[in-house]
C-alpha cells in the first residue's frame, strides 16, 4: 500500500472530492508524472480512492477505506511521537550507491566546520545512502523529518546558496555518525542519508 501517495492526495483534496494534478503530486513525491499517475491508478484499483476523469484532469476523493488507513497511520504516529526526545529509532535499509553529490557537499567548509562544531566530528567526504523498503522504516524517516534535530545552517558561497541540513546522531553498528536530512534534496522518504 502506497501510504505516501495516499497522504499526498489527502493533503491536496482535504478529504473531499477535488481536482488532483498528477504533475503537482509528482513534484511533491519527487517522482515522474508517469509514476504519480500509475500510483493514483493503483490506489483506485485497491479501493483507497475514487476517481472521476474530467475533460481537463481528474477529480479524486478518499474512500472510507482510504480514510481508515490514514486514521490508523495518524494513531500510530501519535503513539510513536510521545516522549520522542528520549526515543532511539532503529531504521533498516539496503545500501545503495548515490549520484556522488554527497562528497561535494561534505567537503564544503560551510558544512564541514558546522559538522565539527555541532556533531563533534568531521565526516568522511561522502554519504552512505540507505534505501528503505519496509513501511515501518519509511515511517521512521518521516518522523525524523518532523523533529527538530541538530541544525546545520544554510550558507552562501560565491554565487551559490546552500540549504540547511537537519542532523540526528546515529550509530551504524559500532561507528558513531549522523543521519542527515537536507532541506533541499532529490531523495524521497524512502532514502536515508548517513555521514560518519
What are the backbone dihedrals phi and psi of residue 7, each rounded to the nearest 5 degrees, phi first? -65, -45
Confidence at residue 80, expressed as pLDDT on a 0 to 100 scale: 67
> Look-up: residue for cell 472530492?
17
Q: Return d(Cα 177, Cα 106) in angstroms, integer.
A: 13
What nine digits make up the cell of 48?
Answer: 483507497
Q: Find the helix or strand (DSSP H, E) in which 192 lies.
A: strand 191-195
Give the CA count within 13 Å in the CB-facing half-sphere of 102.
Answer: 21
Confidence at residue 181, expressed as pLDDT on a 0 to 100 scale: 92
Span 162-180, pLDDT tens digits: 999 999 999 888 888 999 9
Those residues whose C-beta lies under 8 Å from the C-beta of residue 153, and which sit 6 or more positions away, are 114, 164
- Checking if the pLDDT of 88 tops 80, the result is no
What's the mean pLDDT in 96-120? Answer: 88
Contact 31, 40 (CB under 8 A): no
- Checking if the pLDDT of 6 tops 60, the result is yes
What nine digits make up the cell of 165?
Answer: 541540513
- Checking if the pLDDT of 81 tops 60, the result is yes
Residues in the chain, overall count: 196
pTM recorded for the entire structure: 0.55
Domain ranges (residues) in the chain: 3-81, 86-195
CATH class of this structure's domain 3-81: mainly alpha
In three-state secondary structure terms, 85 is helix
Those residues whose C-beta lies under 8 Å from the C-beta of residue 141, and which sit 6 or more positions away, are 91, 132, 189, 190, 191, 192
The CATH number of domain 86-195, selected from 3.40.50.300, 2.40.30.30, 3.30.2130.10, 2.40.128.110: 2.40.30.30
Amino acid at each position: 500500500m502506497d501510504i505516501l501517495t495516499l497522504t499526498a492526495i489527502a493533503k491536496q483534496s482535504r478529504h473531499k472530492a477535488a481536482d488532483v494534478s498528477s504533475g503537482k503530486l509528482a513534484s511533491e513525491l519527487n517522482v515522474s508524472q508517469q509514476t504519480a499517475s500509475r500510483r493514483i491508478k493503483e490506489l483506485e484499483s485497491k479501493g483507497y480512492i475514487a476517481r472521476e476523469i474530467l475533460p481537463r484532469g481528474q477529480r479524486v476523493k478518499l474512500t472510507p477505506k482510504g480514510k481508515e488507513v490514514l486514521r490508523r497511520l495518524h494513531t500510530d504516529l501519535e503513539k510513536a511521537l510521545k516522549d520522542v526526545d528520549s526515543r532511539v529509532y532503529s531504521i533498516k535499509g539496503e545500501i545503495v550507491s548515490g549520484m556522488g553529490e554527497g562528497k561535494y557537499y561534505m567537503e564544503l567548509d560551510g558544512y564541514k566546520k558546522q559538522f565539527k562544531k555541532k556533531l563533534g566530528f568531521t565526516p568522511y567526504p561522502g554519504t552512505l545512502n540507505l534505501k528503505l523498503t519496509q513501511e515501518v522504516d519509511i515511517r521512521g524517516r518521516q518522523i525524523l523529518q518532523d523533529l527538530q534535530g541538530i541544525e546545520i545552517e544554510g550558507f552562501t558561497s560565491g554565487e551559490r546558496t546552500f540549504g540547511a541540513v537537519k542532523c540526528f546522531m546515529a550509530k551504524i553498528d559500532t561507528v558513531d555518525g549522523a543521519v542527515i536530512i537536507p532541506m533541499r534534496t532529490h531523495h524521497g522518504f524512502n532514502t536515508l542519508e548517513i555521514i560518519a
